[in-house]
């Protein structure tokens, strides 16, 4: 069933081969009827092997399968035309819940939503809602600010880098808040920001990181998914250069150079959304998920905890408590998301 369903999806070789594997990976779904059961689909903008944004979403999908017994399906998409086409495919197949993983899916969800009123569309980013469309908005700025505090406390040169995939609003907002965290500790520090232009080119990620290191950058905050894997490699090849990971807990990707990660607990966010839909309690709205809800976290890499000054760790702890209590909001969070 699952296999056929995937084959009927857009006839792109790429999607098919990814789909075939997806089907192989979840043999226990075979034989179940999709129409009757609770079924959840996920569209990612990149590869689920990125150890980051897309991998975290796939973890969320697996948790929905294991905890709620849902039939699951995943397709990797690249262009807005594919977002819309696959939203329609899943709607036509009667899926209960379809995640479009990213800010960039919101236009497609708004267009497709009205055609399939029995399917709930959720985009992980953006602010658009309608009868059956919700958005999850991650307060990326909050842990990014804490990461900035740590980066500035560790940096010897006072030059700190940010490298992103493309300039999506959530990525930009995270970098802005990170820079404020840096300046909170060291007002004279310089923050340079670069974008790779895509989310896959690990070679370009590494070269961009090396170019920053050559300018004196010694801490890099990366938010570039699979391309970011090259940034970790650049730090490993350089001396005394640290990376801060993002989206998933990336502390294990390169434990010797990773100070910590700005983590979105995507599995928890996906589960709460799936529970809401499964129980029939769905109400369209923008879910703002932040440190208070426990979805957004700054996680220090235990292996490098000693590289961070104790004073900085104390400041971060105190700021985090104030964020949870709602008594401190990073200034950048007031901007649009």
Binding region for other proteins (CB under 8 A): 12-18, 20-21, 24-25, 47-51, 55, 58-59, 76, 159, 161, 167, 190-195, 197-198, 200-204, 206-208, 210-212, 214-217, 226-227, 229-230, 232-233, 236-237, 253-254
Phi-psi sector, 4: left (phi>0), alpha (psi -120 to 50), beta: alpha
Q: How far is the CB of 51 from other proteins (least distance, A)?
A: 5
Nearer to other proteins, 49 or 314 (CB): 49
Nearer to other proteins, 132 or 222 (CB): 222
Q: How far is the CB of 94 from other proteins (least distance, A)?
A: 25
List the structure tokens of 73: 């399906």
Q: Which of 228, 297, 243 is nearest to 266 (CA)?
A: 297
Nearer to other proteins, 20 or 271 (CB): 20
Q: Which of 10, 175, 4 is nearest to 79 (CA)?
A: 10
Nearer to other proteins, 24 or 325 (CB): 24
Nearer to other proteins, 206 or 287 (CB): 206
Q: How far is the CB of 13 from other proteins (least distance, A)?
A: 4
Nearer to other proteins, 59 or 107 (CB): 59
Q: How far is the CB of 6 from other proteins (least distance, A)?
A: 12
- Tell me how far apart the alpha carbons of residues 300 and 40 are, in angstroms, rounded to a whole number: 33
- Tell me how far apart the alpha carbons of residues 57 and 73 are, in angstroms, rounded to a whole number: 12
Nearer to other proteins, 253 or 295 (CB): 253
List the structure tokens of 107: 């236009």
Nearer to other proteins, 14 or 69 (CB): 14
- Tell me how far apart the alpha carbons of residues 162 and 176 are, in angstroms, rounded to a whole number: 10
CA distances from 170 to 123, 199, 218, 335 (A): 13, 15, 24, 11
Q: How far is the CB of 129 from other proteins (least distance, A)?
A: 30
Q: How far is the CB of 250 from other proteins (least distance, A)?
A: 8
Q: How far is the CB of 323 from other proteins (least distance, A)?
A: 28
Q: How far is the CB of 251 from other proteins (least distance, A)?
A: 12
């Amino acid at each position: 069933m699952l296999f056929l369903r995937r084959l009927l999806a857009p006839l792109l070789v790429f999607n098919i081969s990814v789909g075939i594997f997806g089907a192989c990976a979840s043999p226990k779904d075979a034989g179940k009827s999709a129409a009757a059961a609770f079924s959840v689909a996920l569209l990612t903008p990149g590869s689920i092997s990125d150890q980051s944004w897309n991998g975290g979403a796939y973890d969320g999908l697996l948790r929905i399968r294991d905890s709620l017994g849902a039939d699951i399906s995943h397709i990797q998409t690249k262009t807005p035309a594919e977002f819309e086409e696959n939203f329609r495919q899943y709607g036509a197949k009667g899926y209960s819940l379809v995640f479009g993983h990213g800010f960039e899916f919101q236009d497609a969800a708004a267009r497709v939503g009205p055609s399939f009123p029995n399917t709930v569309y959720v985009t992980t980013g953006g602010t658009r809602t309608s009868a059956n469309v919700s958005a999850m908005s991650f307060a990326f700025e909050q842990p990014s600010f804490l990461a900035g505090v740590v980066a500035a406390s560790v940096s010897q040169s006072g030059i700190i880098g940010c490298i992103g995939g493309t300039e999506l609003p959530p990525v930009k907002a995270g970098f802005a808040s990170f820079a404020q965290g840096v300046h909170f500790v060291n007002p004279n520090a310089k923050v340079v920001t670069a974008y790779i232009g895509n989310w896959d080119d690990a070679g370009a990620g590494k070269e961009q990181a090396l170019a920053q290191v050559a300018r004196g950058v010694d801490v890099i905050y990366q938010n570039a998914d699979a391309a970011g894997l090259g940034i970790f490699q650049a730090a490993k090849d350089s001396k005394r250069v640290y990376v801060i990971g993002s989206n998933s807990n990336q502390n294990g990707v390169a434990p010797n150079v990773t100070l910590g990660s700005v983590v979105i607990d995507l599995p928890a966010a996906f589960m709460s959304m799936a529970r809401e839909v499964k129980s029939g309690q769905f109400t369209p709205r923008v879910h703002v998920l932040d440190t208070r809800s426990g979805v957004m976290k700054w996680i220090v890499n235990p292996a490098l905890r000693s590289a961070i000054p104790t004073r900085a760790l104390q400041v971060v702890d105190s700021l985090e408590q104030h964020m949870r209590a709602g008594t401190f909001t990073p200034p950048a969070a007031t901007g649009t998301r």
